[in-house]
């Protein structure tokens, strides 16, 4: 974590010195010294970050380095804050403005003195660095290699911790792996690579060990068997020598002469020749680096008398897929234990095989839920609880102090296992991963929200040819690749929009965050431990009225109110904000304000980059908003703001402006006016950095002028929502859309329910839109993955209403709501080949739905709501072999009667089994459960 702080400071210093050096004299000299010395120190800091667990003095030295980096950053930002007039255009103009605004040198001298003091502290920690170099050895850049004996944890001990978990939940994956082994071992299929991938503690090594030791599947199929531990400390020459010794030991031969002096290429050649005439199975356990696989892959022959197998275990998705795909092999993704399997294993450990006492069931369930099916966690925690003699008070005490227990001796092995992945992260990902500790552990967070916060915090490093948002998405993918986060599937099946962390990993990173002063969690239901060191970030999971400990924290950079239990008046919030540091960069106040006014104190945070007011009762944005010149994200969703002042145009760095209010009267239904949009200044096109703009009015209130033409100037836009469009706006809108070559999400709606949107004007080039919500005429784009047609009211004629949709090659989500007035819809063969989710909502004239064989082959979910004239379930539904969920709601009495009749039949069409349950209370609800291959549930709700 210290490396992250140092690296961020170096980037900040380099940029700042380049712009300000000629203005600040000795301040610049000291800044250059700090930059150069901290740069030379960074490589050693990287090594020290890993070794601090075994050396408390080294940990303290790292804390000093981190504090220096933070303090230097504060001095730089104070300079910008004290001399705001330097922001004027033109270099010479800025010089004049600075010296004209400084009436005395008191502030200037104080800043220079602070920087000089930091320089002195850097000199002192350099002395400490030299002492630790003598102990641990030097390290710089790529010359640094981990010393396995010096690390505090040996990853190869994982299997030992999981031995007793082997009989729970292992049958299915073992059967699958043995099937793959057998099919390869009995053929001349050449080499196959099987990868077993999953987060630490899922039991990968245990599973593969049990397969490897299976006499029938391994011993008789392969003539050569070797198990190799790779781990994060991989060294090529050591690995190859060990492998050679084990290979020749299999045939009871001595190692080759000169083995100790062979180089890597000679050893790989020996391995290749030795295996060339044999069928072999080699396990490479715990691979951490793709380059480790690349270094050894060609040592294994690709053909032999019979098929051969390499089994890889890894935490990294990229390694598993890269290694297996080139041999047309297999990837097995380890899954957590089911609830039933978890309970069985837990009882076996906590109660020595007996059942859970009734008085412990509730607390046992809570603790077990924390484990989330992780076998390692269940075994270790269950074993510890077995020592509590079934004392309920001891169990409750353990649960309350679970975070501290993870740091204790009893659970240290498991904590170190989880921490190993954290310490392996590159510096730029450590901050991003720790940032997830800010959010409550029992919920996920929207990926786009997380990305915007990362950018505002300064965690994202620019890359040529990519926006910061695209780089941040790469960071998310890398954390997922390392099995550190989970991604939740989205409704459009195109990209994951929610991110979450395993509960125990979350507990671990909260501990790391607290230990390193990264974030303080303030919870009004518990006593908050305000750290003695400098607080940088505060996440409030309660009421901010109780957060007295924040007062006077002059180094605070971020305040996030995530679960405020009480809304606040502007006066109360003003008192709270008045005590915050003026260097604040992130202010998230969602759901906090109970009055319509934003306190003036908000607009004194010049460095503010992120302002979140979602779900608050704000009614207007004052003209003071123009003072927040560094603002990048303004989140006004679901507020009562209906118009933005012209001063918003001063925010030249604004990247994301979300300002709509979504209003749904009945859950599941979308009335025409469910989105309340916002009026914006006409010259919105001057905000050239905007990537998100949703949802805005197409016209202004004071004059009948459209902003549709201005939209075409926002060439960085990726998401756009425009409401209240008129028919005559169609041509200008198409012209503007043609210029938005990065646009991915588009929401457009007409001004009135009966107004037709004329979007037939050709759009070229077509933007790469993936999600389209349209209330008007259809705009066809082949890049669509998600399409919502609401209130389009396509008329019934000879043309098939689905003709233009069924061939869209990437469409995965389709919603038709008040969108069609015909009496029948037919999903034709070979249509909608990638569609996974289908909604038909209130199609008032619809009488029948037909599905031809070959249509929608991968459809998973089907929803038909409020189609009162539909008399029976879709014809041909049995062709949907991938269907998993069906939901009929608000259907007619005839529909219900038809299903009742089907229930009485022994077989219903091609249905393999049919089961219906009806709760009768004036027949207000109707539920049907049905089993067709993969179909899991069919639910019908009838409302009158």
Q: What is the tens place of the pLDDT at every residue in 927-943? A: 444 434 444 445 544 44
Cα separation values, 785 from 1, 107, 410, 836, Å: 39, 56, 50, 10
Residue with tokens 């011993």, as numbered in its chain: 219
Answer for the pair 438, 539: CB distance below 8 angstroms, yes or no.
Answer: yes
Taking Cα atoms as reference points, which of 729, 685, 690, 740 lies closest to residue 706? 729
Helix (H, G, I), strand (E, B), or coil: what is residue 697?
strand
Distance in angstroms (rounded) separating the CA atoms of residues 761 and 556: 52
200: number of Cβ within 10 Å: 23
Q: Which helix (H) or strand (E) holds 134?
A: helix 106-136
Q: 917 in the Ramachandran plot: left (φ > 0), alpha (ψ -120 to 50) or beta?
A: beta
Residue with tokens 């096109």, as numbered in its chain: 685
State the burial class of residue 492 (Cβ atoms within 10 Å of its Cβ: 0-12, 13-18, 19+): buried
Q: Where are the alpha helices (DSSP H) in 424-556?
A: 427-435, 447-457, 468-481, 503-515
Distance in angstroms (rounded) separating the CA atoms of residues 372 and 461: 33
Answer for the pair 690, 720: CB distance below 8 angstroms, yes or no.
Answer: no
Six-digit token pair at 777? Answer: 């005429």
Helix (H, G, I), strand (E, B), or coil: what is residue 82?
helix
Phi and psi at 467, nearest 5°, equal -75, 165
The reported pLDDT for the residue numbered 162 is 45
Phi and psi at 215, nearest 5°, equal -60, -45
Helix (H, G, I), strand (E, B), or coil: what is residue 402?
helix
Taking Cα atoms as reference points, which of 15, 156, 913 lies closest to residue 462? 15
Phi and psi at 745, nearest 5°, equal -130, 130
Distance in angstroms (rounded) separating the CA atoms of residues 100 and 102: 6
Q: What is the tens place of the pLDDT at every residue in 122-176? A: 888 887 776 666 665 544 333 333 333 333 334 444 444 444 444 578 888 888 9
This prediction has a pTM of 0.73
The reported pLDDT for the residue numbered 296 is 92
State the burial class of residue 739 (Cβ atoms within 10 Å of its Cβ: 0-12, 13-18, 19+): middle
Q: What architecture does CATH give domain 155-333?
A: 3-Layer(aba) Sandwich (3.40)
245: number of Cβ within 10 Å: 14
Q: What radius of gyration do the chain's Cα atoms show? A: 32
Six-digit token pair at 439? Answer: 């959010």
- DSSP letter string, 648-682: GGG-TT--EEE--EE--SSTT---TT-EE-BB--T
Q: What is the tens place of the pLDDT at every residue in 879-932? A: 888 888 888 888 887 787 777 676 665 444 444 333 333 332 333 334 444 434
Six-digit token pair at 320? Answer: 């598993």
Cβ-based neighbours of 830, under 8 Å, separated by 6 or more = 854, 855
Answer for the pair 329, 193: CB distance below 8 angstroms, yes or no.
Answer: yes
Six-digit token pair at 82? Answer: 């004290």
Q: What share of the chain is helix, strand, coil (3-state, %, to 5)?
A: 45, 15, 40
Q: What is the tens place of the pLDDT at every residue in 44-88? A: 777 677 666 667 777 778 888 888 888 888 887 877 776 654 444
Residues of the chain short of pLDDT 50, as ranges, are: 85-88, 90-92, 96, 100, 103-104, 138-166, 491-494, 532, 665-667, 701, 762-765, 777-778, 798, 906-937, 940-944
Q: Where are the alpha helices (DSSP H) in 761-823?
A: none
Distance in angstroms (rounded) separating the CA atoms of residues 443 and 448: 15
Q: What is the DSSP letter of 794?
A: B
Cβ-based neighbours of 122, under 8 Å, separated by 6 or more = 33, 34, 37, 38, 68
User: Quick one: fold of 425-508?
Assistant: Arc Repressor Mutant, subunit A (1.10.10)
The reported pLDDT for the residue numbered 908 is 42
Answer for the pair 731, 760: CB distance below 8 angstroms, yes or no.
Answer: no
The reported pLDDT for the residue numbered 795 is 61
For helices 106-136 and 56-82, the axis angle rounded to 10 degrees is 160
Q: What is the tens place of the pLDDT at every residue in 714-768? A: 999 999 999 888 878 878 888 888 888 888 888 888 777 666 666 655 444 455 6
Distance in angstroms (rounded) separating the CA atoms of residues 196 and 205: 9
Answer for the pair 567, 617: CB distance below 8 angstroms, yes or no.
Answer: yes
Answer for the pair 66, 73: CB distance below 8 angstroms, yes or no.
Answer: no
The reported pLDDT for the residue numbered 492 is 45
Residue with tokens 């303030």, as numbered in its chain: 522
The reported pLDDT for the residue numbered 84 is 55
Distance in angstroms (rounded) separating the CA atoms of residues 509 and 517: 12
Q: Edge-to-edge strands of the sheet including 445-446?
A: 445-446, 498-500, 486-488
Distance in angstroms (rounded) separating the CA atoms of residues 812 and 788: 11
The reported pLDDT for the residue numbered 268 is 93
Q: What is the DSSP letter of 335?
A: -
Structural domain boundaries in the chain: 2-144, 155-333, 339-406, 425-508, 813-941
The reported pLDDT for the residue numbered 285 is 92
Q: What is the DSSP letter of 565?
A: S
State the burial class of residue 89 (Cβ atoms within 10 Å of its Cβ: 0-12, 13-18, 19+): exposed
For helices 375-385 and 392-400, the axis angle rounded to 10 degrees is 130
Six-digit token pair at 736? Answer: 């503007």
Residue with tokens 């239904």, as numbered in its chain: 669
Distance in angstroms (rounded) separating the CA atoms of residues 111 and 117: 10
Cα separation values, 778 from 669, 674, 773, Å: 21, 20, 10
Distance in angstroms (rounded) separating the CA atoms of residues 944 and 611: 45
Answer for the pair 616, 591: CB distance below 8 angstroms, yes or no.
Answer: yes
Distance in angstroms (rounded) separating the CA atoms of residues 939 and 941: 7
Cα separation values, 843 from 183, 796, 847, Å: 51, 12, 9
Distance in angstroms (rounded) separating the CA atoms of residues 777 and 598: 40
The reported pLDDT for the residue numbered 24 is 55
Answer for the pair 786, 494: CB distance below 8 angstroms, yes or no.
Answer: yes
Distance in angstroms (rounded) separating the CA atoms of residues 876 and 554: 67
Six-digit token pair at 104? Answer: 């005395």
Residue with tokens 């960071």, as numbered in its chain: 475
H helix count then E strand count, the chain: 26, 31
Distance in angstroms (rounded) separating the CA atoms of residues 625 and 355: 62
Cα separation values, 265 from 35, 226, 271, 671, 817, Å: 42, 20, 10, 70, 65
86: number of Cβ within 10 Å: 17
The reported pLDDT for the residue numbered 304 is 58
């Amino acid at each position: 974590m210290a490396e992250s702080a140092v690296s961020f400071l170096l980037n900040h210093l380099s940029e700042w010195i380049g712009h300000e050096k000629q203005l600040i004299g000795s301040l610049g000299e000291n800044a250059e010294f700090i930059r150069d010395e901290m740069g030379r120190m960074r490589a050693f800091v990287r090594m020290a970050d890993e070794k601090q667990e075994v050396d408390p003095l080294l940990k303290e030295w790292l804390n000093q380095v981190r504090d220096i980096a933070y303090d230097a950053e504060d001095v730089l930002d104070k300079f910008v804050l004290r001399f705001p007039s330097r922001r004027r255009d033109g270099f010479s103009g800025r010089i004049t403005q600075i010296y004209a605004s400084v009436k005395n040198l008191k502030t200037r001298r104080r800043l220079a003195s602070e920087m000089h003091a930091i320089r002195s502290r850097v000199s002192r920690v350099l002395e400490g660095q030299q002492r630790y170099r003598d102990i641990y050895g030097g390290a710089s850049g790529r010359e640094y290699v981990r010393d396995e004996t010096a690390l505090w944890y040996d990853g190869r001990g994982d299997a030992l911790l999981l031995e007793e978990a082997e009989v729970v939940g292992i049958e299915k994956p073992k059967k699958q792996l043995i099937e793959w082994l057998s099919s390869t071992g009995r053929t001349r299929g050449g080499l196959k690579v099987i990868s077993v991938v999953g987060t630490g503690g899922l039991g990968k090594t245990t599973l593969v060990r049990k397969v490897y030791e299976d006499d029938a599947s391994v011993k008789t199929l392969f003539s050569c068997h070797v198990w190799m531990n790779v781990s994060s400390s991989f060294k090529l020459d050591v690995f190859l020598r060990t492998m050679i010794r084990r290979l020749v030991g299999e045939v009871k031969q001595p190692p080759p002469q000169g083995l100790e002096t062979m180089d890597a290429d000679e050893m790989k050649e020996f391995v290749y020749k030795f295996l060339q005439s044999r069928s072999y199975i080699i396990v490479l356990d715990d691979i951490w680096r793709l380059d480790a696989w690349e270094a050894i892959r060609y040592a294994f022959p690709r053909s032999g008398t019979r098929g051969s197998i390499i089994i890889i275990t890894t935490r990294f998705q990229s390694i598993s897929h890269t290694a297996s795909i080139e041999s047309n092999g297999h990837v097995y993704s380890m899954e957590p234990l089911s609830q039933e399997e978890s309970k069985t294993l837990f009882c076996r450990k906590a109660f020595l095989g007996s059942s859970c006492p009734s008085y412990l069931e509730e607390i046992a369930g809570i603790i077990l839920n924390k484990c989330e099916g992780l076998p390692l966690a269940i075994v270790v925690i269950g074993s510890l609880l077995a020592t509590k003699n079934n004392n309920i008070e001891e169990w409750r005490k353990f649960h309350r102090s679970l975070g501290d227990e993870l740091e204790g001796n009893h659970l240290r092995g498991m904590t170190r296992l989880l921490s190993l992945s954290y310490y392996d992260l590159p510096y730029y990902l450590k901050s991003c991963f720790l940032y997830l500790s800010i959010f409550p552990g029992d919920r996920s967070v929207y990926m786009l929200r997380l990305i915007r916060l990362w950018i505002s915090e300064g965690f994202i490093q620019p890359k040529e040819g990519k926006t910061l948002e695209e780089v941040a998405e790469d960071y998310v993918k890398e954390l997922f690749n390392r099995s550190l986060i989970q991604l939740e599937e989205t409704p459009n099946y195109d990209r994951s929009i929610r991110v979450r962390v395993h509960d125990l990993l979350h507990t671990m990173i909260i501990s790391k965050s607290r230990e390193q002063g990264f974030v303080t969690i303030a919870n009004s239901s518990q006593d908050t431990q305000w750290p003695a060191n400098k607080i940088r970030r505060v996440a409030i999971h309660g009421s901010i009225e109780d957060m007295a400990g924040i007062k006077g924290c002059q180094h605070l950079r971020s305040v996030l109110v995530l679960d405020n239990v009480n809304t606040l008046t502007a006066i109360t919030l003003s008192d709270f904000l008045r005590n915050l540091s003026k260097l604040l960069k992130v202010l998230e106040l969602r759901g906090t304000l109970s009055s319509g006014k934003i306190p003036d104190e908000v607009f004194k945070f010049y460095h503010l980059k992120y302002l979140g007011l979602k779900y608050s009762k704000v009614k207007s944005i004052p003209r003071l908003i123009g003072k927040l010149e560094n603002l990048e994200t303004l989140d006004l969703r679901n507020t009562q703001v209906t118009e933005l002042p012209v001063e918003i145009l001063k925010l030249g760095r604004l990247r994301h402006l979300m300002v709509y209010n979504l209003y749904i009267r009945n859950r599941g239904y979308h009335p025409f006016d469910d989105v309340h949009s916002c009026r914006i200044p006409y010259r919105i096109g001057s905000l050239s950095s905007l990537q998100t703009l949703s949802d805005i009015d197409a016209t202004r209130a004071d004059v009948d002028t459209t902003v549709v033409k201005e939209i075409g100037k926002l060439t960085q836009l990726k998401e756009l929502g425009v409401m209240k469009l008129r028919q005559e706006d169609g041509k200008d809108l198409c012209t503007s859309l043609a210029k938005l070559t990065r646009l991915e999400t588009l929401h457009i709606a007409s001004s009135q329910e009966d107004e037709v949107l004329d979007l037939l004007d050709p759009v070229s080039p077509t933007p790469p839109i993936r999600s389209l919500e349209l209330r008007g005429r259809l705009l066809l784009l082949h890049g669509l993955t998600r399409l919502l047609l609401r209130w389009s009211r396509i008329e019934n004629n000879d043309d098939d209403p689905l003709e233009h949709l069924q061939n869209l090659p990437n469409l995965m989500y389709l919603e038709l709501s008040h969108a069609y007035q015909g009496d029948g819809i037919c999903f034709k063969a070979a249509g909608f080949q990638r569609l996974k989710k289908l909604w038909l909502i209130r199609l008032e004239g619809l009488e029948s739905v037909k599905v031809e064989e070959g249509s929608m082959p991968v459809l998973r979910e089907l929803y038909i709501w409020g189609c009162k004239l539909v008399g029976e379930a879709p014809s041909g539904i049995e062709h949907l072999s991938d269907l998993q969920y069906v939901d009929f709601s608000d259907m007619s009495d005839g529909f219900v009667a038809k299903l009742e009749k089907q229930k009485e039949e022994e077989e219903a069409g091609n249905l393999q089994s049919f089961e219906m349950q009806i709760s009768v209370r004036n027949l207000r609800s109707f539920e049907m459960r049905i089993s067709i291959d993969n179909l899991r549930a069919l639910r019908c709700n009838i409302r009158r």
